[in-house]
Amino acid sequence: MQQVYNFAAGPAVLPQPVLQQVKDEFLSYHNSGMSITEISHRSSLFQDIIDDAEKTLRDLMQIPDDYAVLFVQGGGSQQFTEVPLNLGTNNVAYIDTGNWSKKAIAEAQKFPSLKVTTLASSEATHNTTIPMVPPVSANYDYVHITTNNTIEGTTYFDLPDVGKNVLVGDMSSNILAQRYNVQDFGLIYAGAQKNIAPAGLTIVIARRDLIGKKKGLPAMLDYGLQSAKGSLYNTPPVFNIYMAGLVFHWLEDCGGVDEMEKVNRAKAKILYDYLDQSKLFSAPVKPAFRSLTNVPFVTGNAAMDQKFITAATEAKLLNLKGHRLVGGMRASLYNAMPITGVTKLVHFMAEFEQGEK
């Protein structure tokens, strides 16, 4: 099979060693005679899988014992509702850094009992920066940020100072790709389909004292109940949790989050360095805020953009089309994207540029 490089924003590239292990184990997991897709979520086989996945994730992210780790369904977008449902009482605050932040804000605004405040916005810079947040003296139930903006290509390297308020982070597109201190957050959530597993699984990391307080919540949306049931209130996404565990171990074998961040910085530098000297392509995001995992770039001409995307696809550099809201191109450099994929992309871009002179 011909080598391809998948730069999709999600569902995204997964580590080849993990995919090979899945292939080898798929028909009979641990010689059980049953596929991983057939085993009961109440079996000891699966209990071992979910326990190991949680332990390995705790080790990788240095998650303290006073935080619960949940494996839930619904995707990151469902958390736009679950966060205000579980943590919101009166006043909640958001920092708007792009499309996914706006969607989170819109969901919070559907709760008539909540006053929703936007503390800062990157709209004035066309989402090419992370906005400065003025000193936060008011009391909010939480302050929500999106740590990495998949569409716009911006990221938080330094977290905002939110005073004594609880910080909530949507970490869907850069969880495990760069180091954050879990204890700086009250709650973290992340859809799995970018750096962890196939779509259908969401990771929630929540400080235990923040959840389980509100009564009468819908069972499937109640962090406290999900924690009390060990993420097994109903049938969880068994296959996805199994794959997440394999990816967590692969990350350990790669040296952990800190080592992976070094690799991701190296990959991103190769692409940004080329973009900054190119006469055809450019990166719209201001250098201080450039994402390590999602790199948008443009030629400034829609027809030229499409010509490049078509040529890149023929060269087996796949899924480089930018999000429909911003156009252009986007290369997603998640953990499983090898550095050879980035060097091949840059080499191809240089050849394409030379051909357009």
Q: Known catalytic residues? A: 100, 170, 194
The number of C-alpha atoms within 13 Å of 282 and in the hemisphere containing its C-beta is 9
Cα(100)–Cα(106) distance, integer angstroms: 10
Which residue, chain included where needed, has tokens 């840059």?
346
Q: H-helix or E-strand containing 71? A: strand 67-72
End-to-end CA distance of the chain: give it in Å, rounded.
34
Residues 61-94: b if buried by 16+ CB within 10 A, e if exposed: bebeeebbbbbbebbbebbbbbbbbbbbeeebbb
Cα(344)–Cα(264) distance, integer angstroms: 16
Question: Which residue, among 75, 81, 70, 340, has the nearest Cα to 228 in the 3D structure?
Answer: 70
Which residue, chain included where needed, has tokens 């992370």?
130
**Collapsing DSSP states into helix, strand and coil, what is residue 192?**
coil
216 CB neighbour count, 10 Å cutoff: 5
Token digits of residue 224: 């406290």
Cα(188)–Cα(172) distance, integer angstroms: 9
Helix axes 339-355, 256-277, angle to 10 degrees: 10
Cα(293)–Cα(267) distance, integer angstroms: 9
CA 60 vs. chain centroid, Å, equals: 15
